[in-house]
Amino acid sequence: MAETPTIYVLNGPNLNLLGLREPDIYGHDTLDDIAGRVEDAANEAGVDVDFRQSNHEGHLIDWLHEANAMGAKAVLLNAGAFTHSSIALYDAIKAISVPVIEVHLSNPHTREEFRHRSYVGMAAKGSIAGFGANSYLLALRAALDLAGL
């Protein structure tokens, strides 16, 4: 029997504070709320998700490498503020073959100027932003399409 395809969903700094942190920008959903919706949608599609969060850049890099080594079909990456500062994440995404989809709850282009540059987006297959928690579900749909699932 074939192994169930897996999609990694990686979340960066401060996303553990969703629901509390600036709800006027990020909404009232917690990261656990979002994980539940993504897992439900993935189950309906017949795929597994590996949903993780870390406030540490190195963990995100290690997890990108792991996703590649484990044969993940795609990675959804909300790198939080690392999006705008991490050349190391850019390099990690460029170094792996698994497609990465950048995810944001808010639209960075409507926010502070320093958020307009995305190193993650420069390396990712595509970006989905500005749809709140639904950004994750839209990114999952895109990942499923990329993987032919």
| Active-site residue list | 26, 104
Rounded to whole angstroms, the Cα distance separating 8 from 124 reads: 14
The partner residues of 31 in beta bridges, in order of sequence, read none
Residue bearing tokens 């032919």:
148
Closest alpha carbon to 137 in 97, 78, 64:
78
Q: Are 116 and 91 in contact (CB under 8 A)?
A: no
